[in-house]
Structure 1
């Protein structure tokens, strides 16, 4: 392995990296750093997780000098907010022994803090295209003095439709500058972009030709699973031997929210990152995952390229990705920094055609995923799950009706003790004019009607039951008097209209 000192990196930067245990360079860094230090334009192509950030970050920091003048001199453009935060953290680490300041510019956060950092003289700006153009159009971000420009994950920016924004950003920077472009894949549009805005770039491809399309240090396991059993299977995989931090990808935001709730209910320590969360919530979840406070991160593809954590042991595709590129980016969250990893993919019956395309493109040689259930013996042997493992770490919450057990029928539970699904017996009391029926009357014995001479009960008005002629109601109140409407819409004190003359 080659050290950063041997590549010509300044001692203070080497010392800052060594403080975090980063001493040896990866292949992309070995090939990129010496050329970038000389100001050579570079197109760097390497798989995600191979150290591209330091490959372009260390040279641009060193080329700025030990104590650069205030003002934006370096612009690093990234496709997603999560990746913006990650790249900023790496550059802040490398500049920790220098006066150089780094600021992250991205949407979903308040403008004030970002604007203050720019006004304070930050020299390196890392940002997403939308917010960069927003601040530039308001003349709050001056790109006229940019000396170094980097496009990171250029193919992802193409997928997200940022190509017009990238061209506008290039137009706001000086024509003479040092430019580097990094991408995992090189579509024709990206190559054309490089030719337009770069000067005689050198194409560096840091891959092993014998490695194939997928990383050799990642074990790929593909199962055909039933949607109703999938959560149970995942819960058992999360108890595999040696399982560390785990990233679970879902297709939709709703599925991510549902799964994080389910796993937490089962006793696991999970967080979620998806589009329905605001930026602060997403950043807190990501920070908790990186710090180890949460060991399971459930995410949609929006976060796929911003999860740069070296100790992720498992990646689980709750739903199969749409294409082989997305699969590689998801699986690339594990097996980073030379470590091994496991990628587990669930294929629903309706998605077998998607797996056929991915299998063919990535040359897996597994056209039919293995049908798998939570009780399948091969699940335990494939993933080193201890025998007898169940998908729950803590007992299920007590049933809400358990508190009512033992009560006699009709016995009413206290208000705070009744479950939401229990109905207490209800007695209805009719009212008339806002007054409960029978109000002001004596007890039941005094309400009994007196008998007449003929033996028939004598009922006072308003005290008897309905007699069948509409005079009295069963609740003991007098029947309402029928009203007649006068012809022409007027009433005369409740009297009937006068009969016409003969």
Structure 2
């Protein structure tokens, strides 16, 4: 099936053809007719399957052309980066249309965004907090809103945006269409749907929380953070193989730590993005990576959701995420649009339980790789690792049944540490 078979307007078809899009993805084929019918819809599809265009194309066809001052459609997303990306997708699709799209998000001048909204907007893309800020300032009116999209709903729930979503939907006209898109149909997303949607049609094009088949998943077992950094250096040295790499961490501290260690080798090839970085810095880093001016992006999980960058050769999980679903979102940055990719996880002893939970979620074992012979195994433990190791030893040495932690138990508790060290 081609886009021409889906009764899409000529203006959008021309824009799609110019951008190189030929065939709709499964979520797009399934979602288009439901959205056009005016019914509420829940779209469940893994990352990299084209969810953004699945709702933008029918919405833009409904908007048709610019009119009035107030928004007629609203898209709510969890992060500033996603606001920018959705707006870029709108710009691509409206090459031959007159549609005003405004993106609003925190971390930047609110007056500039208020002025843009006040001048007139057809499609508003927003993070929840900034939407309510501008609404409460009296610069945003919603009486004409006919369609509300809640994108990356599971991520919005994870970040605690439920109160803001309630506030937003309270100021939207009662008669409107709600479209909810999510990679997973979690309990929180189910609660969101039941509270705000009317008899929604559920469109699910793949099993929940499953990675695409074209991602080769590998793991290396390593003893500590410094050894992880040494291994990362070895892997990234092959520039031909590791041509465009996203390295994910759980903490901003590790993101900066990796950047500092790799800067001696590839300073001009590095981008870093996390919530402590200024907004312009984050957007410039993302742009440099997307345009190929940087080869390596180091990111906290803020970049794991929805960021659409083509031809990412490898995703490296420097830290294993605490939430198994986050693993699926991370590795969804590679092997997009039917292409192949590689996902590599660097697993420390304390992360073994996390990787087991991930394997249980995805229903498969992640292939273990032998450590390279040239890898330097570090015996340096950082401060946070010392605390974590002490906690692991204490928990393993605690007598069952809540008895006193006496000297013999403390002595025995050292054996797990020795055993783990001997395995590397």
TM-score range, shorter chain: 0.7 to 0.9
State the Cα distance separating 1:374 from its structure 2 match.
Answer: 5.6
Q: Give the TM-score normalised by structure 2.
A: 0.84
Looking at structure 2, the residues matched to 260 and 59 of structure 1 have their Cα atoms a distance apart, in angstroms, of 41
Higher RCO (Cα < 8 Å, 6 or more apart): 2
Structure 1 residues 51 and 62: CA distance shift in structure 2, 3 A: same
Number of matched pairs: 372
Structure 1 residues 225 and 169: CA distance shift in structure 2, 3 A: same
Secondary structure of the 1:220 match is strand
- 1:76 aligns to what? 75
Looking at structure 2, the residues matched to 67 and 81 of structure 1 have their Cα atoms a distance apart, in angstroms, of 25
Secondary structure of the 2:216 match is strand
Looking at structure 1, the residues matched to 66 and 82 of structure 2 have their Cα atoms a distance apart, in angstroms, of 27
- 1:53 aligns to what? 52
State the Cα distance separating 1:60 from its structure 2 match.
Answer: 0.7
Pair 1:314-2:314 in alignment: yes
Pair 1:145-2:125 in alignment: no
Q: Give the TM-score normalised by structure 1.
A: 0.71
Contact 2:108-2:279 at 8 Å conserved across structures:
yes
Secondary structure of the 2:6 match is coil
- 2:27 aligns to what? 28
- 2:220 aligns to what? 223
- 1:301 aligns to what? 301
- 1:246 aligns to what? 245
**Paired residue for 1:213, among 210, 213, 218?**
210
Secondary structure of the 2:304 match is helix
- 2:18 aligns to what? 19
Looking at structure 2, the residues matched to 221 and 141 of structure 1 have their Cα atoms a distance apart, in angstroms, of 48
Structure 1 residues 95 and 212: CA distance shift in structure 2, 3 A: closer
Contact 1:81-1:306 at 8 Å conserved across structures:
no
Contact 2:47-2:306 at 8 Å conserved across structures:
no
* Alpha-carbon RMSD: 1.8
Query: Greater CA radius of gyration, 1 or 2?
Result: 1
Say which is worse superposed, 63-72 or 85-94, in terms of deviation.
63-72
- 1:430 aligns to what? none
Contact 1:233-1:374 at 8 Å conserved across structures:
no
Looking at structure 1, the residues matched to 117 and 239 of structure 2 have their Cα atoms a distance apart, in angstroms, of 47
Pair 1:266-2:294 in alignment: no
Which aligned pairs between 1:379-458 and structure 2 lie closer than 5 A? none
Q: Which has the higher helix share?
A: 2
Contact 1:92-1:101 at 8 Å conserved across structures:
no
Structure 1 residues 212 and 94: CA distance shift in structure 2, 3 A: closer
Secondary structure of the 1:221 match is strand
Looking at structure 2, the residues matched to 293 and 152 of structure 1 have their Cα atoms a distance apart, in angstroms, of 29
- 1:86 aligns to what? 85
Once the two structures are superposed, residues 336-367 of structure 1 have per-residue CA deviations (whole angstroms, 9 ceiling, x without a partner) of: 1111110000011222222222222222235x
State the Cα distance separating 1:68 from its structure 2 match.
Answer: 3.1
Secondary structure of the 2:35 match is helix
State the Cα distance separating 1:293 from its structure 2 match.
Answer: 0.8
State the Cα distance separating 1:369 from its structure 2 match.
Answer: 4.7
Once the two structures are superposed, residues 175-228 of structure 1 have per-residue CA deviations (whole angstroms, 9 ceiling, x without a partner) of: 101211100111233223223322321100011x6x982211000001112332
Say which is worse superposed, 111-120 or 41-50, in terms of deviation.
111-120
Once the two structures are superposed, residues 257-291 of structure 1 have per-residue CA deviations (whole angstroms, 9 ceiling, x without a partner) of: 12122222113611100122111111110111111
Contact 1:229-1:374 at 8 Å conserved across structures:
no
**Paired residue for 1:234, among 232, 235, 242?**
232
State the Cα distance separating 1:149 from its structure 2 match.
Answer: 0.5
Contact 1:155-1:185 at 8 Å conserved across structures:
yes
Say which is worse superposed, 38-47 or 154-163, in terms of deviation.
38-47
Say which is worse superposed, 66-75 or 292-301, in terms of deviation.
66-75
Looking at structure 2, the residues matched to 161 and 241 of structure 1 have their Cα atoms a distance apart, in angstroms, of 41
Secondary structure of the 1:372 match is coil
Structure 1 residues 374 and 331: CA distance shift in structure 2, 3 A: farther
Contact 2:324-2:354 at 8 Å conserved across structures:
no
Structure 1 residues 43 and 83: CA distance shift in structure 2, 3 A: same
Structure 2 spans left out of the alignment, 5+ residues = 376-424
Looking at structure 1, the residues matched to 214 and 368 of structure 2 have their Cα atoms a distance apart, in angstroms, of 21
Contact 2:274-2:300 at 8 Å conserved across structures:
yes
Contact 1:232-1:374 at 8 Å conserved across structures:
no
Once the two structures are superposed, residues 77-116 of structure 1 have per-residue CA deviations (whole angstroms, 9 ceiling, x without a partner) of: 0011111111111112112211111111100111122112
Looking at structure 2, the residues matched to 43 and 229 of structure 1 have their Cα atoms a distance apart, in angstroms, of 43
Contact 2:214-2:341 at 8 Å conserved across structures:
yes
